[in-house]
Amino acid sequence: MLTKETITAYFQQLQDDICGCLEAADGKGRFREDLWEREEGGGGRTRVIQGQRIAKGGVNFSAVHGSMPEKISRALGLEPGHFLATGVSIVLHPVNPLVPIIHMNIRYFEVQPEGGPPDGAVWWFGGGIDLTPHYVDVADARHFHRELKKACDAHHTGYYPRFKQWADDYFYLKHREETRGIGGIFFDRLSEEEGFSKEERFAFVKEVGEAFAPLYIYYLEKHRDDPYGAEELAWQKLRRGRYVEFNLVWDKGTKFGLDTGGRTESILMSLPPEARWEYSYIPGEGSLEARTLSLLRKGIDWINYKGS
């Protein structure tokens, strides 16, 4: 039987494995670790790197538990009870503007209703992985979605189209009418309700988690010698500003962490080291920046996209 202890231990090991891969890929930076405890129960390990290729990156593990706050119970449509939320959350902001920003989160949640039987816990898995290029590179987008489809298809051929659409809808800045990047996959509340076992759902989540490091290292290596200058760095800061807007205005994970008394520094580690906002900025017609904005929209079939 798959236990919450086994799931929690896996997430801890995944954090270790990914941090080792990223340190090797950066070549210079090393993760700083902060151990923290939540007064109401549980805690985590926050790890942040600032290196020669990764300007700022966070790879966080947490496992928090306790009595579920009433507003969280209402928001999730659950009876009050004792909850556990555990997972790994990652955001990497690169030095080179030609390397994309990447985000991944995989998580497990369960709640034992008050007065319910020991085997009556409600549980589900959630998560996702998405790519936010400062400059959209169609070949990069195609590779990213092909790899995600491969990971999804190994478990169910219906996963990729469903979770790809979910990502398009979720990673969307409604106030800007643009997607955060070129999407990826997003999923939530994956339980036994659709006929999958807990073990099958966990196997899929592990597949996503273990796809992360090879995917991102591919982009670090591909673009490591791409030249850039002041113009590209200025655009990078503007795009980072959009990233900040999404995480602070729309991201449900940020809100959940703050509402459950999570560690603020760990929750906000996703923010870039520097960002910029310029009033009513419009890129020049025909520029690479304007082309990128034209591709920040829902519904693009990146695997079969014919543009250049």
The backbone region for 305, taken as left when phi is positive above 0, alpha when psi lies in -120 to 50, beta otherwise, is beta
Radius of gyration of the chain (CA): 19
Query: HEC string of 257-289?
Result: HHHCCCCHHHHHHHCCCCCCCCCCCCCCCCCHH
Closest to 35 (Cα-Cα) out of 9, 17, 14, 12: 12
252 φ, ψ (degrees, to nearest 5): -70, -30
**Three-state DSSP class for 60?**
strand
The active-site residue, picked from 103, 134, 155, 223, is: 103
Note if 145 is an active site residue: no
Residue 278: both structure tokens together: 């310029």
Antiparallel, parallel or unpaired: β 81-94 and 54-67 = antiparallel
DSSP string, 212-248: HHHHHHHHHHHTTT----HHHHHHHHHHHHHHHHHHH
Kindly tell me the number of DSSP H helices and DSSP E strands found in the chain.
Answer: 9, 9
Catalytic machinery residues: 103
